[in-house]
A and B are shown apart, each in its own frame.
Chain A
């Protein structure tokens, strides 16, 4: 008999259908991955098991934990199950812990509300659990507050809260999405070990097929609130019977064809010994303000027509470097040269137009009150030779069509577009001045895999049409590998390795690069042989 049995779960919020007839099960000691893109209903499925849905939600169907239908329990009875029989870990460790309560107290709370334990015993038990998840009290005393821990450590504390009573079922909703790749690997290892050790069932919600492939025993693929395919992980991945599964899989390891890099490269952007310091708050009353070197002596050259990648984990200085290249931050040392000419902090309109940027967040990139035409022509600000009138409209129409939108979209507002379309508008804005260099700052990181694949295709196409040179900044190694010729690896403000992508990815020299590559989950190299299942 399975541990968790969801059958015919249907859920709507108001008039909006969220889940339709979801059926799945998990056995004790088994890891089930629920995967799909945003809007697939995978998180809602998890919340439905916990019965922590928004108030307006209406559900039908049954959720059996062993032989008890959770849907039939009263709220009070459900409170007794949560935390004791089912634990849950959430996506965002930075906000999942109460900021004004110590981690020890938060772990103890799980124990104290469900059992008749003395405070001293609960404290000892909390210390044991925290030690188990990798936060031993010798190094992480119980009276630490969440803000004193890093993201990965906080996620360990959240896991400790969830497993303190050794629940039968653990639900983890995108538990590593907000974490760096090396931290992700550690947290996934921890979860896998805990399942083995406690014999729990684990339901892991993730959009990342590579994570699924490396971790799950079985897999459920969801789309728009429905389960489209299920089965043992290897079987689903090798057969990919459902077209959606196949699309997800292909998009996840999407390959693009870049035009060949120029044979005789001429330097376009040269960065020489760039240094960027920040002052940190004084330590103590009389202490000197500290200094944090975000970018330390970075030098590299970007050649005309080259596609250069910049990878590193959060806090490695890649965002600071990007801002410095754009002239948004001052450098304390070193210099930047564009076409051999030094770039000053105060840039001329021509220098600004030569370098454009595409940011990550397709929702934060536009003033919501302006029309697309005004948004994409913003780079012409202060430009003496900006096209006006008819010529300007034609140019806007041209770039919009080049990025796969239509000329008529110029009159629309940003909220009328989807995330992927907005990212196209952001690319159009970067292209309109025909810049010599574009910085893609995590430009595809917020997108679903299928959308991401299409944007990567677009970038490859534009390489042909516009002869692009770009710097592609990303934490995602696999994407950089696809769209770059050469790559820089950054750690703690320094560039620790650089070289052609194939060399760096297949034979990394620096220890950090090796760690990064080893930690990154990879999709197995599978080409589905079976024909697609024809939907009935």
Chain B
């Protein structure tokens, strides 16, 4: 178990290191000098040079990479080229919208998809299965941001159950915050739930064909008991992988959905930064997103060890 854990941890650190190098290298390729961009076209050469040295741009690539990574490890993400404020502050604020949104959607998607997938698999080929599969066939095809627009049209503009956009902030209380994120989370979650339900169904169907399911039936378990006690847990192993992958889709999706609901999340920040060529903000947000994805997949790996004893003891 410890061996497995350490191995995963090493691979987590390695992935983060390589990912940060890739991001840094890509941003390095960007044409133009941030300092001259910030000061505008009419700036004096010595002012530009002064700013370059203030931003650390006059140092070598390796030393700047190390400064950047070292800064991030201590919570210093640098200073925004356009706003001249610490990036960490800007990102921190926005993260509290995007991350809860993605997690909310992940929770919803899992809560809807697993029962639906199990239900469909248990009724393979029957009407219930057909209905679930039909719904998921449609669900996987719906672009989440389009679905979000429909939700706004129906629940915000016509029914007025939710506001059409904006975010009240968490200081208004957990409930108000969740309420404001509900429509975006539903829009994000349903298409993902459709995918996850399909995965759950096919994983369970595969397990239902296994010999040990027949052994369970031979003991006297009913089909339903056998699925509950022996099927689901075995089927969860492939499903977990997909849940881990879904988090990255949901985080990316959250960034898009924020545009529909005018939410002050990472999405708005990064798109503004792109048009303002505020590369240090882009760099930090991208690194943060990648970090979140890698971290979640690490957590999924740990969950494997809980679900699957073969990993626990073999290591």
Contacts and interface: CB of A to CB of B under 8 A. Distances in A.
A146 to B, nearest CB: 9
Contacts of A147: 309-310, 313-314
Interface range, A side? 35 or more
Interface string A57-92: 000000000000000000110011111100110101
Contacts of B230: 98, 101
Given A83-B219, A99-B309, A282-B3, 13 more contacts: A50-B218, A75-B222, A79-B222, A82-B217, A82-B218, A90-B215, A99-B308, A109-B216, A109-B221, A145-B309, A145-B310, A147-B309, A281-B315
A505 B307 CA distance: 49
Contact of A114 (B212, B220, B229, B313): B220
Interface of A: 50, 52, 75-76, 79-84, 87-88, 90, 92, 95-102, 109-110, 113-114, 145, 147-148, 158, 161-162, 281-282, 284-285
Contact of A88 (B218, B309, B310): B218
Nearest to A107: B219
B2 interface: yes
A76 B241 CA distance: 36
14 contacts: A80-B220, A81-B220, A82-B218, A83-B219, A87-B218, A88-B215, A90-B211, A95-B211, A97-B215, A98-B234, A99-B308, A101-B230, A110-B220, A162-B219
Contacts of B314: 147, 281
B6 interface: yes
Given A95-B211, A113-B225, A148-B313, A100 B220 contact: no
B233 interface: yes
B160 interface: no
Contact of B218 (A80, A83, A101, A145): A83
B220 A84 contact: yes
A282 B4 CA distance: 11
Nearest to A287: B3
B309 A52 contact: no
Most chain B beta carbons < 10 A, residue from A100, A102, A147, A281:
A100
B206 interface: no
A109 B6 contact: no
B94 to A, nearest CB: 39
A27 to B, nearest CB: 22
Nearest to B222: A79
A237 B309 CA distance: 48
Contact of A95 (B210, B216, B313): B210
A98 B309 contact: no
Interface in B46-64: none
Contacts of A282: 3
B219 A161 contact: yes
